[in-house]
Structure 1
Amino acid sequence: MSRPSLRARMKPLELVGMAAVLGVFAGVITLIGSRSLDGALILAGIAFIAALLVLAMLSLAAGEQQPHDPDVPVLDRERPPRKRR
């Protein structure tokens, strides 16, 4: 079994990073609007978890079907090389 590429290994970290950015954005908007630090932290946590769930589900749904090896997780699968124009 070959090792996954750096891009494939960094995919989960990219998803967590995007969810964190969305959570911080929601927290900042709430802090500016309500001036309540508690409410901003709570909403930032909820937004982070919700964004993480949605991004993970979209990542799983976008995975390619590989009939020859169905036991490999979606994030560990290799993408075929892109065609140059």
Structure 2
Amino acid sequence: MTAEGQQPDPASGAERDPGEFTPRTFQPSRKDRLRPLELIGFSAVMSAFVGLVVLLSTREAVVALISFGVAFIVVLVAIAMFSLTFKPDDAEIADIDEQDAHGA
């Protein structure tokens, strides 16, 4: 039995036993690969807003840069905490169960 997108081994001459586990490499979708960049980008935009407000309020570039850095870290940690609260849907649960069954 072959995994998606893989060709059978011509040297074997036959299909593998269906009960035998053949590991395949997981290819994440483009959305899955860009998700961390979306979160970092959102954090950067929010912290840029904070930095701009502080810069326009105080006219101190150093204070604005410090505020930008602090806001970036705070927003990034807040987003990470919120993302931990989401429960997986049925497809993710099935994928987790499949990985657990083959890993044991």
Give the fraction of aligned pairs with identical amino acids, expressed as a percent. Answer: 37
1:69 maps to which of 93, 96, 100: 96
Q: Which residue of 1 aligns with 2:34?
A: 10
2: distance between equivalents of 1:45 and 1:54?
A: 14
Tell me, what secondary structure is at the counterpart of 1:62?
coil
Question: Larger Rg: 1 or 2?
Answer: 2
TM-score of the superposed pair, with normalisation by structure 2: 0.61
Gaps of 5+ in 1: 73-85
TM-score of the superposed pair, with normalisation by structure 1: 0.73
Q: Aligned residue pairs: how many?
A: 71
> Is 1:36 paired with 2:60?
yes
Gaps of 5+ in 2: 1-24, 100-104
RMSD in angstroms over aligned alpha carbons?
1.9
Tell me which of the two structures has the higher relative contact order, counting C-alpha pairs closer than 8 angstroms and 6 or more residues apart.
Answer: 1
The one-character-per-residue Cα deviations of 1:25-72 (angstroms, maximum 9, x if unpaired) are 0000000001010100000000000000111111222241627626x8
State the AA in 2 paired with 1:69. Answer: I
